[in-house]
Every structure is written in structure tokens, then in C-alpha cells.
Amino acid sequence: MSGFKRDRQGNAKRQDGFPKPAPKQQIERNAFTPMFENLRDELDAHHDRRDRIGKASRDITALSKKIIFSLQRVRKIDEHLPEDIQKEIDTRLAEISKLLASIAPDVQGINRLRYARSLVCLEELVEALTFYHYLKTQTLITQDQLTPIVEDLTRRGFVVEDEVMGNSEAAEDISSEQQPSDQAKATPTVGLTDDDYLYGLFDLTGEMMRFATTTSALSGKMASSDAASDGRDIVHDMHELGTFFEMLPLRTGNRSMWEKKLEVTRQSVQKVEKLGYDLKIRGSERPKGWVPDLRSTDQPGSPE
């Protein structure tokens, strides 16, 4: 009983200790009824988990998309994003944290891949986070770097929940004191699968293409970080990413999906190289120092 209410999104789910739904109707009992009743309870727990994950997943996908929209309003590759955009992203990430924490107990161990299909949101999240990282550093974040970030997001979701609980429910002081030590031992986190990462990267190329198009149209230059020592720009980066995917062996698990994403990536690369060509040819006709008047659109004042 202790901590049941508090830990409603933690232990309770892990034990699958939800009240069992009453049978639909009174069915004549026979020799097999008890067996089927046992199986029903197991299946119900499974369906409940899947539903919870699916709901959180939809929300995480939507939030990730919003982060990407915010990032598309950035105008240059720079360590420091405009403050308002950074703030938008931080808010969304905090919300994602809470959602991840809410489903973390449901996707531990064997269940992680069991519900992989309900967790497609992670692909979208990878897309948002890799894009975020690219805009800040002009580098591609590796899977080994990204996994701890997502795990950390999950953990932060738990912390936030704790604080809220601690403030609002003074009556349950005793159990709230037990809580942190419990969680410190084993906070369940949501990990990334290889597929989440790979397919997220594929989608990243699309975002980079969009970003390259907007920035080159507005600034007359190919996006590039001032700090990048070798002076490579986004055309170069797109080529490198394209080559990266072309050289990877075909992933046989979901062949058609892989081929589809690869084709889209090819198109994105070609769109960006066309941009590079256009700038080279026509960009020189632009008077030196000429900058389009962007005061109104360049600095996004209103979110969304």
C-alpha cells in the first residue's frame, strides 16, 4: 500500500497491480474458464501498457515536431541559439521528460522491444535532438552520445514529478521521504534502439535540407558555423551524410522502409547541392554586402 498512490506511474505499473476489469457478462463457467481468466488478466495488462505507451508516444511525437519547427526558425549555426527559441525548446523538452518518465516503467527489459512499434516517437525525438545538436555544433551526434541524453531526459521527468508531489501532498510525507532513495537505486530509463537512431538520422537530412534552403534564401550564403575550422558548409555536410547512408549496408529488417528513407535522403542531398550551385552562379551577382531586409521575419518574435 505504501507509496501506491504516489508512485502511480512507477511501481504500480511495474507490478501490473491495476484493478481487474469486471467480466463483460456472466458467462457459463466450464473447465476452461479459470485458465482463460488468468490469460485474460495477463492480456489486459499488456493492452493497458500498450495504450499508455501509445498515448505518451503521440504526445512526444507532437512535442518533438514542435521543437523541430522552433529550430527551423534559427538562422545560423551557432553554439548559442536565440534566447526565445532556446526557451521554447527547453519547455518542450521538460514536457517530453515527464512523458518519458511516465512510460519508462512500462518499457523495461523485455518490454522495451515488445512495444517498440508503439514507441515510434523516439525516432522523432532523435530527429529533433540530432538537429538541435547540429545547429549548435555543426556535427552529428553519435548514438553513444545521444543515448545518455535521452536517458537523462527520462530521469529528469521523475525528479520533476517528485518535486510536484512533495509540494502538494504534505500528508504523505513519510512515503515521499522513501521515494528518492528508491529511485536513486533504479530509476527506469528509456533507451534508444539502433533503429530509433538510424531512422531518426534519415529524417535529420530532411530537416537540414529545409534549414539550408531557408538560410540560403534569406542570407545569400550557405549555412556554416563560424567556428568550423575547415570552413565546410551545409552542402558539404549533406554530401557527407548522403555518402554515409549510401555506404552503410542495407538493413534487412525492414527493407522497404530503409530504401524509402534512403531515396528521400538522396533527394534532399540533391536539393541542397542545387542550392549550392545556384549560390555560386547567381550569388556572385548579388552586390557585396547586400542583405535582404529581414528585420520582420529574421527574428522570430512570436512562437509558432
Partner 1 sequence: MSGALIDPSLFEQLRVKIEEDTVIRKELDKITDELVQHVSFTQGVLSRIHSTPRSKYETLLPQVEEGVKKEIQSVRALAAFASQYPYFKYNYKWNRAVQDAISTVLLAAWLGGMGTESRPGEVGRLLKLEEVGEIFGVPVNLKDRDAFHITIEDYLLGLVNIVDELSRLAMNSVTLGDNDMAVRISGFIKDLHAGFQVLNLKNDILRKRVDSIKYAVKKVEDVVYDLSLRNLIPAKMEE
Q: What distance separates the 2 farthest-apart alpha carbons in the chain?
A: 88
Which one, 32 or 290, has the nearer CB to partner 1? 32
Site for partner 1 in 58-97 (CB under 8 A): none
Segment lying near partner 1 (by CB under 8 A), choices 41-49, 93-101, 279-287, 296-304: 41-49
Segment lying near partner 1 (by CB under 8 A), choices 59-67, 122-130, 227-235, 284-292: 227-235
Contact pick of 1, 110, 171, 281 for partner 1 (by CB under 8 A): 110
Contact pick of 2, 5, 17, 23 for partner 1 (by CB under 8 A): 23
- Distance CA(262)–CA(129), nearest Å, equals 20
Contact 42, 48 (CB under 8 A): no
Q: What is the DSSP letter of 73?
A: T
Which one, 37 or 152, has the nearer CB to partner 1? 37
Which one, 5 or 255, has the nearer CB to partner 1? 255
Distances (CA, A) of 123 to 157, 166, 201, 239: 19, 33, 8, 22
Which one, 65 or 271, has the nearer CB to partner 1? 271
Which one, 1 or 35, has the nearer CB to partner 1? 35
Q: Does 225 bind partner 1 (CB under 8 A)?
A: yes
Give min distance, CB of 191 to partner 1, in A: 11
Segment lying near partner 1 (by CB under 8 A), choices 96-104, 169-177, 244-252, 275-283: 244-252
Which DSSP string corresponds to 111-129? Answer: HHHHTGGGGTHHHHHHHHH
Q: Does 37 bind partner 1 (CB under 8 A)?
A: yes
Distances (CA, A) of 293 to 218, 257, 299: 9, 42, 11
- Distance CA(161)–CA(26), nearest Å, equals 41
Residue among 221, 244, 249 nearest 234 (CA) = 221
Q: Does 260 bind partner 1 (CB under 8 A)?
A: no
Q: What is the DSSP letter of 300?
A: -
Q: Which three cell numbers stand for residue 276?
A: 549550392
User: Tell me, what amino acid is at 201?
Assistant: L
Residue among 134, 242, 248 nearest 195 (CA) = 248
Contact 68, 207 (CB under 8 A): yes
Contact pick of 40, 87, 280, 286 for partner 1 (by CB under 8 A): 40
Q: Say how many residues touch partner 1, by CB under 8 A.
A: 52
Which one, 34 or 292, has the nearer CB to partner 1? 34
Q: Does 27 bind partner 1 (CB under 8 A)?
A: yes
Q: Summarize as ranges the residues that interact with partner 1 (CB under 8 A).
A: 21, 23-24, 27-28, 30-33, 35-37, 39-40, 42-44, 46-47, 109-110, 112-114, 116, 137-140, 142-144, 194, 198, 225, 227-230, 232, 236-237, 240-241, 244, 247-253
